[in-house]
Structure 1
Amino acid sequence: MSTFISFCAGVFLLYWPYGWCWYRKEDPDEYGLRWEFRAKDFMQTLAVSAFILLALTVVAMNWPWEALPRKRGLWTVLNMGASGLTAAIIEETFFRGWLQPVLERHFHPFAAIVITNLVFAPIHLIVAPYWISLCTFFPGLIMGWLKYRYKNLFPPALFHFIGNIWSIWFFPMPVNF
């Protein structure tokens, strides 16, 4: 049953922004619902990702709960990586591609980024019901900034995916998660 609920939530988060635009007869580009690869943006996003994740790795390696990095089998990593890519696309479409631009129409862009992440972070409690899941608020700020800076969903989704891959080995979780 939980797989079905997750599937339905994913479909909603992915398609709601486009349905919203269609219903209001607005161009999805007005919201930044654009997926565009630009080499310069790609390289800068990789640099931001490396900087942030290097710092997080130092923190994670000193986390008291468990030994990191984790050892995982190839199929586990591939499955988790595919889930991480799917989550990055779906979540970035909804949160950075729709919610953040809607809020930017009413608030300063940086306030919109913060408010978006006040919604984004608690959603992660559904999958991992531990207080540390709320820490997704902080990388969410980076994803919001990337969306604001590049007016494109590719950079925040790339950062999100790289972060999801990193978390397979380094995201500290309570024992027995």
Structure 2
Amino acid sequence: MPKSTVNFNFNQQAIAQLTAPWRIGVFIVMLAAAWLPFLVPLSLAIADANLRSIVVMGILFLIFLVLLIFWSHWCYQTPLSLKAYGVYGLGWNRRQGVELLRGLGLGFSFTFGLFIIQGLLGWAVLAPAGDRLWTIIMQGSLTGLGVALAEELFFRGWLLKELEQGYGNKTSLASNAIIFAVLHFLKPLGEVIRTLPQFPALVLLGLSLGITKRRHGDRLGHSIGLHGGMVWAYYIVNVGQLVTYTEKMPAWVTGIDRNPLSGVMGIAGLCLLLWLVNQGEKPWLKRLGF
């Protein structure tokens, strides 16, 4: 028993002393090794593609949450409890809740505002809401918050923290945004080319979310809200079929796949968002939800 304990402690120290790229690599390998035993049988057992994706990705996130507690304990000496998430900016307190709600309102307004501007310019026609609108609104809120929680805890929580251990603030922030965009572009070459305007948009979004976290004391609440609000608004408009494009402008201007963030207009809006979140603590920005 003593020998086993010594080896376990040695492994903890060895992981903590690795350089940032090696630590990131070790974590990903451990995550994949724990996930694969579930991925293969479930992929064979579940025929419906949407249900299969939800189940296997849900299990991946649960494994990530558990592994993160141990990783924080090994690398940052936190207790083996939910408090470990605090290292990555995720806490359970009133301040985080308020920041999450402010970010949610900002992200929702930003994305929905792009659709409204397109309507005013004559690029799109806003359709009347159907009978299922309230159901779609509720589904969209859960989808938006779920996606945002998972992606922000991974990218702006764990990954950004690891990058900061080996690089300066600017390098780690830029690297984080580029990795965020690249991982969203793991798809067939034809799709990469077709959706290319999405790449700079994702980089700008990654930078904005990273700066937002730092501006709020390295807490994730506002970043989760901002990201979730954007997904929520897009879900409502897309699933509810609230917008019909007039084809007066090409999709690379209005947004690839009806997503206003994935076109020239969205890129311009994200540039403005990045500039605003980079302005620091200003009263007028706080009143706008920043």
Same topology, TM > 0.5: yes
SS, match of residue 34 in structure 1: coil
After the TM superposition, which of the residue ranges 115-124 and 41-50 deviates more from structure 2?
41-50
Equivalent residue runs for 1:34-53 within 5 Å: 34-38=91-95, 41=99, 45=103, 49=107, 52-53=110-111
Indicate yes or no: 2:196 matched with 1:136: no
Q: Is the 8 A contact 1:16 1:94 kept in 2?
A: no
Matched with 2:164 is: 104
CA distance in structure 1 between the partners assigned to 2:128 and 2:210 by the alignment: 29
Indicate yes or no: 2:89 matched with 1:22: no
Greater relative contact order: 1 or 2 (C-alpha under 8 angstroms, separation 6 or more)? 1
Shift of 1:163: 1.2
% identical equivalent positions: 20
Residue 158 of structure 1 is aligned with which of 217, 225, 233? 225
Q: Is the 8 A contact 1:97 1:153 kept in 2?
A: yes
Matched with 1:10 is: 61
Q: Is the 8 A contact 2:111 2:234 kept in 1?
A: no
After the TM superposition, which of the residue ranges 166-175 and 110-119 deviates more from structure 2?
166-175
Shift of 1:139: 2.1
Residue 139 of structure 2 is aligned with which of 41, 62, 79? 79
Indicate yes or no: 2:211 matched with 1:145: yes
After the TM superposition, which of the residue ranges 103-112 and 26-35 deviates more from structure 2?
26-35
CA distance in structure 1 between the partners assigned to 2:257 and 2:101 by the alignment: 34
Shift of 1:159: 0.8
Pair 12,162 (structure 1): closer, same or farther in 2 beyond 3 Å: same
Q: Is the 8 A contact 1:121 1:137 kept in 2?
A: yes
Q: Is the 8 A contact 2:99 2:225 kept in 1?
A: no
After the TM superposition, which of the residue ranges 50-59 and 17-26 deviates more from structure 2?
50-59
SS, match of residue 164 in structure 1: helix
Shift of 1:160: 1.1
Deviation per residue, 1:133-153 (Å, 9 max, x gap): 432332222111111111111
Q: Is the 8 A contact 1:36 1:153 kept in 2?
A: no
Indicate yes or no: 2:89 matched with 1:32: yes
CA distance in structure 1 between the partners assigned to 2:169 and 2:87 by the alignment: 15
Q: With structure 1 as the length reference, what TM-score do the two structures score? A: 0.71
Shift of 1:55: 6.6
After the TM superposition, which of the residue ranges 161-170 and 95-104 deviates more from structure 2?
161-170
Q: With structure 2 as the length reference, what TM-score do the two structures score? A: 0.47
Q: Is the 8 A contact 1:36 1:152 kept in 2?
A: no
CA distance in structure 1 between the partners assigned to 2:128 and 2:66 by the alignment: 34
After the TM superposition, which of the residue ranges 23-32 and 54-63 deviates more from structure 2?
54-63
Matched with 1:93 is: 153
Residue 234 of structure 2 is aligned with which of 143, 167, 174? 167
CA distance in structure 2 between the partners assigned to 1:33 and 1:136 by the alignment: 22
Pair 35,69 (structure 1): closer, same or farther in 2 beyond 3 Å: farther
